Structures are given as structure tokens and as C-alpha cells.
Amino acid sequence: MKNTVAFSATLLCFLLLVQSCSKKSQDSFAASAQPDELITASVNSGETYTLMAASSGTLSITRQAAHFQVSATTTDEKGSILYKYTPQQGYVGSDEVALMYSPAAAATEHDGGCQSHSDGMTASNRIVIKFNVTQ
């Protein structure tokens, strides 16, 4: 009987801990309907726009541009994180891309490896770039 009560209590505590991590992770993505950073950029047709996002971390495309020849994240020779955009050949008009930047961070002992408990140090930033492609 003692083992059943101890097992049940341990299982309950474990489930609460796991749910707290996943709940906060889901909330952080749902809460960012508006971008953290909105960039308006003009680029000539046939030229490349480059954004240096940061010197470390990760950058990913969450919504791809519609009229691109090149739209990709990359790193330069120093390890800086870049986003590059070249419009389709001959395209003139507007385009838009959404990016997600997450700074590099290691889990610490006190947060149990759950990044959502690390006091905002690993918060992701949503970046939207609105392009005006000109001739």
C-alpha cells in the first residue's frame, strides 16, 4: 500500500513538471502574433538584400517569401547569422518573409533543462521583412 501511494505521488509530480514545460513552450509561440521586429526594405530587381541577424544563435524562415530567386539563412566566414533575399528575375512589387531568431543558450542546472524556465534568456524573436522590389 505504501509503495502504491509513493508511486502515485511521484507520478503526479512528474506529470505536473512535464506539463509546465510544454505549456509554457506552447504559450510562447501562440503569444507572438505581432512581430518583435518589422523591417521595411527596398531592393532593386536582380540585386541581393542581406540582413545580419546576430553573431550567434539560430535563424529560420517561418513563412517563405513568395517572389524569390534566393531566400535563405546562412552564416558568413566569421560565423555571423545572415538572411539573404534576391527577388525573382524581372519581378517588381512587394514581398514579405517571416523569420524566427533564437539566441544560443545552454540549459542551466536550476532550470531542469526546460528552456522556458530560463528567465527569458532564450526568448525567440519574430522578424518580418517587407520588401519593396523596384526596377
Residue with cell 522590389: 133
pLDDT, residue 10, reads 64
pLDDT, residue 108, reads 47
Interior/surface letters 100-135, b for 16+ CB within 10 angstroms, e for the rest: bbeeeeeeeeeeeeebbebeeebbbbbbbbebebee
Could you tell me if 35 and 127 are in contact, meaning their C-beta atoms sit under 8 angstroms apart?
A: yes
Report in angstroms the alpha-carbon separations of 118 from 25, 66, 122. 12, 36, 7
Going from the N-terminus, what domains does the chain have, and what CATH number goes with each?
35-104+122-135 (2.60.40.2020)
Could you tell me if 96 and 64 are in contact, meaning their C-beta atoms sit under 8 angstroms apart?
A: no
Report d(CA 58, CA 102) in Å as an integer: 5
Report d(CA 114, CA 33) in Å as an integer: 23
Going residue by residue through the chain, which has 135 residues, state the pLDDT in tens, using 9 for 90 and above: 667 766 666 655 555 555 555 444 444 444 446 889 999 999 999 999 999 999 999 999 999 999 999 999 999 999 999 999 999 999 999 999 999 999 986 544 455 555 444 444 457 899 999 999 999
pLDDT, residue 1, reads 65
Q: Quick one: which of 107, 103, 89, 96 has its CA closest to 130?
A: 96
Per DSSP, what are the bridge partners of residue 127?
Answer: 37, 99
